[in-house]
Chain A
Amino acid sequence: MSGTYLGMPAFPRAAATATRDTRLRANLTHATRTIRDKRAKAVAELDDWAELRAAGAAVKDRTLRHLDHYLEQLEAAVTAAGGQVHWALDADEANRIVTRLVRETGETEVVKVKSMATQEIGLNEALARAGIRAYETDLAELIVQLGHDRPSHILVPAIHRNRAEIRDIFRREMASWGRPAPEGLTDSPAELAEAARLHLREKFLSAKVGISGANFMVAETGTLVVVESEGNGRMCLTLPETLISVVGIEKVVPEWQDLEIFLQLLPRSSTAERMNPYTSTWTGTTDGDGPQTFHLVLLDNGRTDTLADTVGRQALRCIRCSACLNVCPVYERAGGHAYGSPYPGPIGAILTPQLRGLAGPLEESLPYASSLCGACYEVCPVAIDIPEVLVHLRERVVQGGPVTLGGTRTVLQPAKGHAAERAAMRAAGWAFDHPGALRTGMRLAARTRRLHPRRLPGPGRVWSRTRDLPEVPAESFRDWWQRTRGTSSGRGTWAEPGTSSEPGTSSEQRGDAK
């Protein structure tokens, strides 16, 4: 499997393959169920969760509504504290900036903290093309990197691998990246973690350049925050001479005090812990402690386009906790790779099509990668109404409409492949306006129910390939109501085309008569 997401098949095809992989499904079911139960307990410990969640959402919304102000404030504070701020419009520009900054150090190796932003822009591949080797140091990212694989979960990128697979990857691959796996390595998690520790410590102790993202940036103080568990983050943030942080512009929060909200919401939502083992904060550079050169690369890459959509912009509140993945019935069965981007699960289904634009078959299919059950909204610590955005994006796919792409307002054309759906909706609209026709159609459908195919022919084929056709009951609700509550003579009172009586009115009248 290649390390990039280019040319990913649309969601339904990728999911169809993934759901047939029984080992993947077993790994995912085990992992998501475990974390789901633990998270519920961790959240239940705080009786003000609803208030924290509302405050988290409000702070993020307020920040987004004045993002220009907070970004300028942040830039000034970081610069005053000894950091250098760079701005990147897109992935290419961010990669060019980071590559140049690494080259200026004269180094050809960097150590990396797990970071969604650098996954999003394909930084490792860009650095590799420039002859710079990037070592992932998070255990899960190491498993993914050594396995020539792609991450499939925001928080636990190797969630699709079980311990036996991880042992095999370590035994096979570690030697070609540095210290080989210990002799007789078993699949116990403790031994696997120890193997990773030994393998990576060599890298940490010699690294001159570290690359990270950030969970939060405080505009008022210029402080960056990284939340982690293993200590690999602390290693990369404190041992190298140069630190380069690539951070999406939506990660800014206004004040130091705002961290009291997010440092309560994030750990409990993500790993179900009261607090993650390590949190690091730094403001510019500190004499004699940590990197003496600090670069912050502020990344747009579709975020301002997302911001322009007044319904969809709430996706930018996301703090990447991954709670929505762990409760999603679709994610649990399809796995993260099917979403074709570093952002899988429900949040990926709304974030990817917005960051990239509804630009191709994958992006157009993602708003449909959901059952709209609403579990993702319920668990979201910043109350992103994911179902609302999904429905909004589906409308854009089918109907087209105004969007912003690369900073330019434009009108999106309806996507190809949805002509049948639009035709069906038009037909349904007509039928609901013509009750007599609707009734005749329902009766006809009921009488021919034994003859219905399991898959639709013609233009409906695409729709029914991924859905089970509903079974038509022997009798429609209207007819049942007529038979059991209405009068037998009432049958004829149902509106036929051309008659003026409303179905609702006639049934009320009969109700009164009873």
Chain B
Amino acid sequence: MRSPLELVVARPGPAFTVTFDDREITVLPGQTIAAALWAAGITSWRTTRGSGEPRGVFCGIGVCFDCLVTVNGRANQRACLVRAEAGDVIRTQEGTGHRGQRQQHG
């Protein structure tokens, strides 16, 4: 099947890995966290603080804040804006993400 990378004849730099909820995923350099998660087939990385509903990318351009995620212990990062870096520890953000942060910081 044709892919976007084939369509634009991409020759990306060396891939690297990050973890998402302790699962290792491969990322191409330059991709945002949202793009990396989509490429890995993951579309949900947040649960709402009210009813715990799953959410992921919605607007894709930094306006809607639906794609918030916890990156290296920092909650509320917009996955569609933040570039993935080698070794990033990405976690599903539950609610406001503060509970996760407290756990991470002791």
A, B co-complexed: no
Which B residues are closer than 8 A to A by beta carbons? none
Which A residues are closer than 8 A to B by beta carbons? none
